[in-house]
Chain A
Amino acid sequence: MIEFTLWDIVRNLALAARWTVVLSLIAFVGGGLVGLLLLVLRLSGRAPVNRVIGAYVQLFQGTPLLMQLFLLYFGIALFGIDTSAWMAAGVALTLYASAYLAEIWRGCVEAIPRGQWEASKSLALSFGQQLRHIILPQALRIAVPPTVGFLVQVIKGTALASVIGFVELTKAGGMIANVTYEPLLVYGCVALMYFVLCFPVSLYARTLERKLHVGHR
């Protein structure tokens, strides 16, 4: 049997944590882009479009992320596409994040007074110009706290990707715990690493929030 020092445990966990980071980034970026697209479609859209997007949001908010991962992993394979755990996890997290972000951001946009739409419309701005120059900059200011709150959820949510065999932080922790027979120590380290990943995000959010507010004074 191989001897594991604390350093070995930490080093292996840190290596696996890279994949947690990568998966989180995919979810942030992919989810953010798709979420923004959904938001814009919903704001410009007619009733049927809105209903479809509303259903999409409900679907992803109303089912556990774990089921979404399973369904995607086994579901994509059904279409004869060769899925890796990678792809399934990336796609599932992207869709999941996009649904939540679209909904969070819609709330922020709706918090902008109607007068802002009307004044910019009266000035002959196009819909895109209204969004780009008037509505989204104001919505962004109020969107930072809930968005970052959700991103922290996503980082922790990536742990679920371990169930489809994706070796990220949690999965690696499980594997190491099995060989070292030191679950408490290993999972303690795992928890600490999640904290190390999430805490700076929250901290940065607070700075960003302050900066955005200062910009308006």
Chain B
Amino acid sequence: MSAIAESTVGAALATPHTQVGAPIIRITALRKSYGDNEVLKGIDLDVKRGEVIAIIGKSGSGKSTLLRCINGLEVFQEGSLTVDGKPLLYESAMAMRELRQRVGMIFQSFNLFPHLSVGRNVMLAPQLVKKKGSAENATRARQLLERVGLAEKFDAMPDQLSGGQQQRVAIARALAMDPAVMLCDEITSALDPELVGEVLRVVESLANEGMTLLMVTHEMNFARKVADRVIFMHQGRVHEMGSPEALFGQPRTAELKQFLSSLHD
């Protein structure tokens, strides 16, 4: 019992610069196009520290693009974006790297580095980017792997793990950079149904410990249970936004009603 308590303390989440309850992500009038195709048509969104936000919407509504703008994987043309006090400045590679250190991202396809062991996957970025000493880095990596229930996989290679295990390693890898915010893009969509739960439990534990989370998800039950706020995106806009009870209980717009009813088919 005490060992578990200790390890949880050891793998505690980092404290962001932003105060609890203050906006940790500020997105203002963000517009993004691919060529002539405008995909995000003016997004305004403030996310408070510790808030858990679920983003739902039809395929092609711009959910992934919005997430990917937040850590600069996609370049947007208009608007501004700040994460934990770090503004997004494309011109400065330094500023981009500063910002990305504040933002962890988990992908649908895990994207573990297949040529590195699980432990090295987790330790690589802290070593290279944060210049963390190897002993401290290894200790932290072990704690984080323990946190996601994979302490014994430190020396395994990614292709020896199940999808659910790989995704949990990906979460530990992102946490190792002590992000202020985590972005999750349909992180259980590539998993067999029986493996979804183990990943969602890890995400839920992060939410409970005050991590700021933005997750694109098709798991409506999970969104209802964990999210503080649900955003329904439609054709590149935040079409409707509110508490899970309000959004799922009393959808106001026809588009959301239609979207929700399409899920039951």
Binding site for B on A (CB under 8 A): 113, 115-116, 118-127, 129, 133-134, 137-138, 141, 215-217
Contact = CB atoms under 8 A, between A and B. Distances in A.
Contacts of B159: 216
B73 A122 contact: yes
A42 to B, nearest CB: 19
Contacts of B124: 123, 125, 133
Given A129-B128, A133-B128, A123 B114 contact: no
Nearest to A127: B93
A27 to B, nearest CB: 29
Contacts of A137: 115
B113 interface: yes
Given A122-B100, A216-B115, 19 more contacts: A113-B109, A118-B107, A119-B107, A119-B112, A119-B113, A121-B100, A122-B71, A122-B73, A122-B104, A123-B100, A123-B174, A123-B177, A124-B100, A126-B93, A129-B128, A133-B128, A134-B113, A138-B115, A216-B114
Contacts of A216: 114-115, 157, 159
Contacts of B128: 125, 129, 133
A116 B114 CA distance: 9
A137 B93 CA distance: 23
Contacts of B173: 123
B129 A138 contact: no
Contact of B111 (A115, A124, A126): A115
Given A115-B109, A129-B128, A124 B115 contact: no
A116 B113 contact: yes
Nearest to B127: A133
Contacts of A127: 93
Given A134-B113, A216-B115, A216-B157, A124 B129 contact: yes
B111 A116 contact: yes
Interface residues of B, number: 27
B88 interface: no
| 9 closest Cβ pairs, A-B complex | A119-B111, A123-B125, A115-B111, A124-B100, A122-B105, A124-B97, A124-B101, A124-B129, A129-B128
9 contacts: A113-B109, A118-B111, A119-B111, A122-B105, A124-B177, A125-B125, A133-B124, A134-B113, A216-B115
Residue among B103, B111, B174, B177 with most chain A CB within 10 A: B111
Contacts of B100: 121-124
A148 B160 CA distance: 30
A93 B128 CA distance: 37
Interface of B: 71, 73, 93, 97-98, 100-101, 103-105, 107, 109, 111-115, 124-125, 128-129, 157, 159, 170, 173-174, 177
Contacts of B93: 126-127
Contact of B157 (A116, A125, A133, A217): A217
A129 B112 CA distance: 16
Contacts of B125: 120, 123-125
A217 B128 CA distance: 24
A126 B157 contact: no
Nearest to A212: B115
A113 to B, nearest CB: 8
Contacts of B113: 116, 119-120, 134, 138
Contact of A123 (B98, B115, B129, B157): B129
Nearest to A122: B105
A122 B157 contact: no
A127 B71 CA distance: 15
Residue among A113, A120, A123, A217 with most chain B CB within 10 A: A123
Contacts of B71: 122
